[in-house]
Amino acid sequence: MPYIGNNLATQFQAFATQTITGDGSTGYTLDKAVANGKELLVYINNVKQEEGSGKSYTATGTTITFSAAVASTDSCYLVYMGSAQQTVTPPDGSLASYTGNASISGTLGVTGAVTANAGVVVDNITIDGTEIDLSSGDLTLDVAGDLIIDTDGAEIKLQDGGTRYGTLFKSSNDFGIKSNVADGDLVFKGEDDATTIEAMRIDMSTGGRVGITHGGTSGLPSYPFHVRTNNASSFISAFWNDGDDANRLGVIIQCGKDDGSGTNDALVIADGNGDEVGKITFNGGTVSYNAFSASHYCIIPDADNDADSQAMAYPYGTLLETTSISYTQKNGADTERGILYNVQKTQTANSKKVLGSYGGSMNGGWQNHTNMHLAYVLGDGHILCNNAGGNISIGDGICSSSTAGIGQKATANPSMIIGTAQQDVTFSGSETKLVAVQYGLQQFIPWS
């Protein structure tokens, strides 16, 4: 006899029947409790009824509800199916709306995609087992809350074709990530405008060198800790130890020989091409700055300053003299020690106001200065000189000449000099030449 609904499973563990006498209502009491209507076969006038919301009937617990009233003249009987004992191949789509509980003790093989409770809020999903093997394809878990993986001390393995490449592990109170390939690196990557870039690499072939890269820069770290970037528009790193207290210390560099003997490099400074331009060394308890020129910040006349340019305001080596001083500001007030020199080119010969030799502009930069320059006052460098005092020999003092910003051999007794010549210079006329000096402001008695 034809009927409505899915094909029947066969070979039941147990079953019972019940006859319902209609009274014109839609709700009736079941003899046995059921999880849902799929555990029943329902016949009215020998026609099998279809279970489900919006269909012939629904059932839960000890209540069955029909979509239409059952009359006293209708023949209605039920079959309690029980639990099926054989494997059943469900028709396509028949599990899509299944809302009951299912337990699978063997292997569940799926050839297509599996979606768990799509669009439905689920409190907990538990996957029990000793191993989850995804030989191909993806396992996607889209959760709004927490994803908890309880390994009970075991490891989470990352494999490819049976070869383990990485492991997530717990050891005591530690959480760890490790590579399981000989000399395999540990790499951290991210996305920048949909472009995958490497952010950090631990090079295991070199004993664990750590390389941090920026802006798509790549390459193995060359040092135990290596920060590499090609296009950072500001500082490559910053160290903060805030707290408004003198015990919030900065950076300590510990290196070299234990007894401090020999020449120990503490800090090396190189240009953008990697060529060394200077270093800080120590030997026997003394720190040396090699080579160096000490400078002071200074402010030049507005007529000579270009607030929007980092170009030199004066030729390198131009002599400067002090016109007045001011102080750097902190919280709207003058600092106690931050002297700023207001300067101009030296104006007279043997000026007692001479400060130093012009070194460069600091306009712009990370602090956006609009009038800030450098005057060299200590160390080695150069001073622009003419022949007003004659040819220059090593050891001669250099003072200002009557030409603005230009130095000469000191001849007055005494002279206020800003540097001591380190080379012999012969003039052929009224030209100016850069003379190598050791800077130092002092009164000087010319050589007789």
Termini Cα distance of the chain: 136
Report pLDDT digits (tens) over 78-137. 999 865 444 455 565 555 555 556 665 555 555 555 565 555 555 555 665 556 666 556
Of 341, 305, 338, give the one whose Cα is nearest residue 321. 341
The whole-angstrom separation of Cα 117 and Cα 413 is 98
In tens, the pLDDT along 314-353 reads: 999 999 999 999 999 999 999 999 999 999 999 999 999 9
Residue whose token pair is 């800090």: 267
- Residues 31-40 have pLDDT tens digits of 999 989 989 9
Residue-wise pLDDT for 403-423, tens only, equals 999 999 999 999 999 999 999
pLDDT at 354: 95
Q: Is the pLDDT of residue 308 over 80?
A: yes
Pairing of strands 209-214, 225-229: parallel
- Please tell me which residue, 116 or 54, carries the higher pLDDT value: 54
Least confident of 216-225, 266-275, 283-292, 369-378: 216-225
Q: Please give the single-letter amino acid code of residue 184.
A: G
* Residue recorded with tokens 């798509």: 216
- With CA atoms as reference, report the closest residue to 349 among 390, 393, 403: 403
pLDDT at 129: 57
Beta bridge partners of 281: 265, 288
What is the DSSP annotation of 98-166?
A: --S-----S----SS---SSTTS--S-----SS----SSS------SS------TT--EEEEETTEEEE
Query: Is the predicted pLDDT of residue 434 greater than 90, yes or no?
Result: yes
Q: 107 burial class (0-12, 13-18, 19+ CB within 10 angstroms)?
A: exposed
Cis geometry, peptide bond prior to residue 414 (ω within 30 degrees of 0): yes
Asked whether the predicted pLDDT for residue 9 surpasses 90, the reply is no
The whole-number pLDDT of residue 219 equals: 81
User: Which is more confidently placed, 267 or 170?
Assistant: 267
- 25: tokens are 């209502």
Instruction: Tell me the per-residue pLDDT of 184-199, one tens digit each, with 9 for 90 and over.
Output: 888 888 877 777 888 8
Length reported for the chain:
448
Q: What are the tokens at 375?
A: 């005057």
Alpha carbon of 247 to those of 228, 241, 244, 251, 253: distances in Å?
31, 10, 9, 12, 17
Residue 153: its pLDDT value, please?
Answer: 67
pLDDT tier for residue 10 given thresholds of 50, 70 and 90:
very low
Rounded to whole angstroms, the Cα distance separating 412 from 392 reads 15
Predicted confidence at residue 185, as pLDDT, reads: 85
List, edge to edge, every strand of the sheet that includes 209-214.
186-192, 195-203, 209-214, 225-229
pLDDT value, residue 300: 98
Domains and CATH numbers, the chain: 16-80 (no CATH), 186-229 (no CATH), 246-291 (no CATH), 293-448 (2.40.300)
Lookup result for tokens 């005494």: 414
Q: How confident is the model at residue 11, as a pLDDT?
A: 44
Percent helix, strand, coil in the chain, to 5, is 0, 40, 55
| Best CA proximity match to 413, nearest among 369, 444, 435 | 444
